Amino acid sequence: MPIVPGDIAFGENGVPASPAYGDIYHSADGGLQQAKSVFLQGCALPQAWQDAERFVILETGFGLGLNFLATWQAWREQPGRCARLHFISVEKHPLSQETLARCHAAWPELTPLAASLRSQWPLPVAGYHRLCFDDGRVQLTLIFDDADAALKQLEAKADAIYLDGFSPAKNPDIWSPALLAQLRQLSSPGARLATWCVAGKVRQALQAAGFEVERKPGFGHKKERLEARFAQSSAPGPQPSLANTAAIVGAGIAGSSLARALCERGWQVTLIERHPAPAMGASGNPAGVVRPQLALDDSFNGRLSRQCFLHTVKLVSALHLAPHASHGFNGVLQLARDEENAAHMQAMLAAHRYPAEFARWVSKEEAGALAGVAVAAAGLYFPRGGWMSGPRVCAALLEHCGAALSRRFARAATRLERTADGWCVWENDTLLAETAHVILAGAHEAAAFANLPLTPVRGQITALPDGCLPGLKIPVTREGYVLPAAHGIGNLGASFGFEDDPLPRAADQAANLARLARLLQLPPALEVSSLDARVSFRAATPDRLPFAGAIAQAGADIRPETPLAGIRRQPGLQALSGLGARGLVWAPFLAEALAARLDHEPWQLPRDLWQAVDPARFLLREARRERKR
């Protein structure tokens, strides 16, 4: 869904309003006080989260962010606050960073928090955007989408709910009975709900959804407001494991990202790698391209790629690595293959109305000016994309883990043994780890221990000698890629084949030089015999989407009508694999999302995207094909 940013108009009383909806963002009696009186007080906060391990708040309508800022402020000020606060908010028309700054100036007491919020403010691109504050103890998940569509795909259990959209008369969709009915599935037992709206249809819909509704004295000129409590019994959600321990098999970009994500949550992690150091397989290329893969129909692949790209750039930028040595996110070009492909690219931009800061069309001449060398065609420019070094980023991710990480390098997992409490990981007769969870995060390991349709794909890159492209400033891609030779890590590639030859081949070197000729107008004259190369093997899936999640139980009875969620899984056994040629983009976010699921947090992906990467999806597809035969 294209995201149309919101607009602000200020009335004579200084209250911000939406010209599109003809309604104000907060009461003329005071926006911050309204947030505290209607929403925090209405949900019994901060008392309700007293000494809780985690507390989840769901909001419809982020607006100026006042409810979040007031909640965060209250969390900071309470000594007995919950250990982790998760705040999920849906917004169809997010405001710009500049507009938020203008509005936030009215509340100087919120200046530090508001400035921190704006410093992480995401681009107006559809999907989930995760912002972390106070060392990750406060997590804000912004969902830029239509509220009804977003709530249908959301997987979370809210302890408190803020209903704060524009009035039912101005924006009826956000108060529809169908949307309010979804709150039944999103509420924890005893969840509290607050809203300033007392419309009869809203009260009736909440009561039908299982809430006990009560009118309370309103705020300012508003006579009444509503408080509600989810009274119906509900099946208890999963509780955090008493043994938050995991063994990760594979220390490439997937395993390293997952180790960091779990260690940040207080887990004890054992990382097992058959090579003597991390990132010596497919993640070990000196550098790789970081850009999204757009799709005209906004397919699963396009949506996932967009989500992962934004997260990866943000994560790597925050690792405090030396730029130019580990990464460079100062833009990347994707040149059009031909006129038909150029028209398709421009149609994608028009259909999704991406902000120019995310993606824009550039002429051949502008593309050359951005690249620093003459390029072969016009194409897409991604200002926040670029390149990163897998080995250096993996090392930084693992360094971040500290004492919570145990490294078992130069050790090959050869056997997994299920125990009463979890798993044992063995190398022949040597016990490598005894743990509650095992995550298969490498291509080789996932294929050895799980029935997953993974195909090894051979890729050969060609190293660029220093000085051969002195003007090239950013990566250029088009049926291949060329990377700037920053600090000697520039390269060119990559071949794509299904042979098992681990040694570089002259034919692939020549093919890579042919790719270079299709990228640049004036490619340098290079001799194949003088160039170094590297070969690695990626793991590809039949639908080019990765595997992330729990692995199906061996011999599970899967019928055509079985839902994916109903397939029996092997307890504590997960996979993060099948990343193909996009591991650098996909792995960091999928690792974070999988860690959140393992730690029983609200999901960081909508339900349909999780189903699209479910390791059991091909088993279900096979069962359905069998029925048709």
- pTM comes to 0.93
Judge if 448 and 459 occupy the same domain: no
Last residue within a domain, chosen from 510, 540, 570: 540
Residue 93 sits in the same domain as residue 180 = yes
Total tally of structural domains belonging to the chain: 3
Do residues 449 and 469 both lie within one domain?
no
| pLDDT over 80 at 18, yes or no | yes
Q: Are residues 479 and 496 in the same domain?
A: yes
Q: What CATH number corresponds to the domain at position 210?
A: 3.40.50.150
- Structural domain including 362 reads 332-383+455-540
Least confident of 237-246, 288-297, 430-439, 579-588: 237-246
Q: Are residues 95 and 181 in the same domain?
A: yes
Residues 76 and 194 in one domain: yes
Q: Indicate if the pLDDT at residue 282 is higher than 70.
A: yes
Count the alpha carbons within 13 Å of 163 in the hemisphere toward its beta carbon: 31
Average pLDDT, the chain: 92
Helix or strand holding residue 524 (H, E): none
Q: What is the pLDDT of residues 86-126, one digit of tens each?
A: 999 999 999 999 999 999 999 999 999 999 999 999 999 99
Task: Find tokens 């270079």 and name the residue.
Answer: 516
- Quick one: 121 and 179 in the same domain? yes
Q: Are residues 399 and 372 in the same domain?
A: no
Query: How much of the chain exceeds pLDDT 70, in percent?
Result: 97
Whether 305 maps to a domain, the answer reads no
Which pLDDT does position 241 carry in this prediction? 47
Answer for the pair 254, 589: CB distance below 8 angstroms, yes or no.
Answer: no
Task: Verify that 252 and 204 share a domain, yes or no.
Answer: no
Is it the case that residue 79 has pLDDT exceeding 70? yes
Nearest alpha-carbon partner for 281 in 482, 535, 507: 535
Q: Are residues 402 and 445 in the same domain?
A: yes
The pLDDT tens digits of the residues spanning 396-431 come to: 999 999 999 999 999 999 999 999 989 999 999 999
Is the residue at 238 inside a domain? no
* Residue 459, in any domain of the structure: yes
Q: What's the CATH code of the domain at 360? A: 3.30.9.10
Q: What is the average pLDDT across 246-267? A: 97
Predicted pLDDT at 486: 64
532-557: average pLDDT: 93
467 and 615 housed in the same domain: no
Strand order in the sheet with 9-10: 9-10, 16-18, 23-24
Residue 52 lies in a domain: yes
CATH number, position 567? 3.50.50.60
Contacts by 421-426, CB closer than 8 A, 24 or more apart? 421/243, 422/243, 422/245, 422/572, 423/247, 423/572, 423/573, 425/247, 425/249, 425/270, 425/272
What confidence tens digit (pLDDT) does each residue in 172-219 have? 888 999 999 999 999 999 999 999 999 999 999 999 999 999 999 988
Helix (H, G, I), strand (E, B) or coil at 79: coil
Pair (347, 432) in one structural domain: no
Domain presence at residue 504: yes
As a whole number of angstroms, the distance between CA 183 and CA 211 comes to: 9
pLDDT per residue as tens digits for the range 449-494:
988 999 999 999 999 888 888 899 999 999 999 998 865 667 899 9
pLDDT-derived band at 240 (thresholds 50, 70, 90) equals: very low
